[in-house]
């Protein structure tokens, strides 16, 4: 459960978090970047993100086989 306080009305609201969200918060709460920057999750720089995207594109396998997506 997370508590959010509105800056406009100065009222608190309890916001339920899914278990996966709680796990992610616990995983990163003591991460050095998060602690030093006073942010919840570490943030990748543009250079790191571009490097990651470039790597994914270079290692992607493209085929001419269409993928059918249907709702069940």
Q: Which pLDDT value is given to residue 20? A: 92
pTM greater than the 0.75 cutoff: no
**10-residue stretch averages of pLDDT, the chain, 72 residues long:** 68 85 89 82 88 88 76 64
- Sorted by sequence, the CB contacts under 8 Å of residue 48 that are 6+ apart come out as none
Q: Which pLDDT value is given to residue 4? A: 62
Radius of gyration of the chain (CA): 20
Q: Give the C-alpha separation, 28 to 21, whole Å.
A: 11
Integer CA distances (angstroms), 53 to 2, 40, 47, 60, in order: 33, 23, 10, 10
């Amino acid at each position: 459960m997370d508590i959010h306080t509105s800056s406009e009305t100065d009222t608190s609201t309890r916001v339920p978090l899914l278990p996966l969200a709680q796990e992610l918060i616990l995983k990163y709460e003591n991460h050095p970047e998060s602690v030093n920057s006073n942010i919840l999750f570490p943030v990748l720089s543009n250079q790191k993100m571009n490097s990651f995207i470039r790597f994914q594109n270079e290692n992607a396998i493209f085929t001419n086989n269409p993928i059918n997506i249907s709702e069940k």
